[in-house]
Copies of this chain bind each other. A is one copy, B any other.
Amino acid sequence: MIPKDHPRYDSLVLRARMVEASRKGILADSAMIAHGRGEAFDYLIGERTTEPAEKAVKAAAAALILAEHPVISVNGNTTALVLEDIVKLSEVLNAPIEINLFYRTPQRIERIEKMLNEAGAKKVLGTDHEEKALIKGLKGPRANASREGVYKADVVIVPLEDGDRAEALVANGKKVITVDLNPLSRTAKTSSITIVDNVVRAVPLLIEKVEELKNLDENELENVLNHFNNSRNLKETLKIVSKAYTGDVEL
């Protein structure tokens, strides 16, 4: 048990979730390393949801509500960190969850599928017992997507996605929403809407915003979306991170 008054309590809880997920066999070898990168970048934005992140979440909520076929794409790390919230997001959006793994193995797919189902997920795609279609621009098993999921989707939310796949999804005409703590990553730069925040803060906030904006009409939602500019928003984030470094130093 981690003592609640530990100065790094939140961070240690997430680490414990990752270690647990690793023991369950749902993570790739490099998953812990990716989590550590996230820790470092989270530290630089002050381990809080920044104003630009909140703007991105709002735009993401509008895009997902407006979508005809929204899909939530998850990998091992996302499942390890925000399983319950992903299931809840899928409920409020009435959107399927698709498992997409960078290092795909039948064992990992099966275990993640089981965890999602046990958490109450209504529709889990990307499993090994369904028809696949190929996403253009990707090679090997990573090109596979569920025919009724990511392949058909107009809007995909893919937290913690790699650069190649984010690029390919955008090139295939999809609106891509990502959650990525590194504002300089290829995924962050390529995606349509980039939420630079920890997935454990971003997903609950996204659920809130979806519930808040659900009552708006189509025009109002389009308005929210048109007011959002991803590259401008990323620049605002970069300013914040840069200040984390210069805050205690005179330049």
Contact = CB atoms under 8 A, between A and B. Distances in A.
Nearest to A39: B37
A139 interface: no
Nearest to A183: B245
A30 interface: yes
Q: Tell me whether chain A's interface is mostly helix, strand or loop, or mixed.
A: helix
Nearest to A14: B33
Interface string A133-153: 000000000000000000000
Contacts of A183: 245
A32 B28 CA distance: 12
Given A32-B36, A37-B39, A238-B249, 10 more contacts: A33-B35, A33-B39, A37-B37, A37-B40, A40-B41, A184-B245, A184-B248, A235-B250, A238-B248, A241-B245
A182 B41 CA distance: 11
B40 A36 contact: yes
Copies of this chain assembled into the complex: 2
Given A35-B33, A36-B33, A36-B40, A239 B235 contact: no
Contact of A32 (B33, B239, B242): B33
Contacts of A30: 15, 19, 32
A2 interface: no
Instruction: Name, among A30, A40, A41, A251, the residue most crowded by chain B CB atoms within 10 Å (CB to CB).
Output: A40
B238 A182 contact: no
Interface residues of A, number: 32
A238 B242 CA distance: 9
Contacts of A241: 245
17 contacts: A15-B33, A32-B32, A32-B35, A33-B36, A34-B36, A35-B36, A36-B36, A36-B37, A36-B40, A40-B40, A40-B182, A183-B245, A184-B245, A239-B249, A242-B245, A242-B251, A245-B245
Instruction: Name, among A30, A32, A250, the residue most crowded by chain B CB atoms within 10 Å (CB to CB).
Output: A32
Nearest 6 Cβ contacts at the A-B interface: A36-B36, A32-B32, A40-B40, A33-B36, A242-B245, A37-B40
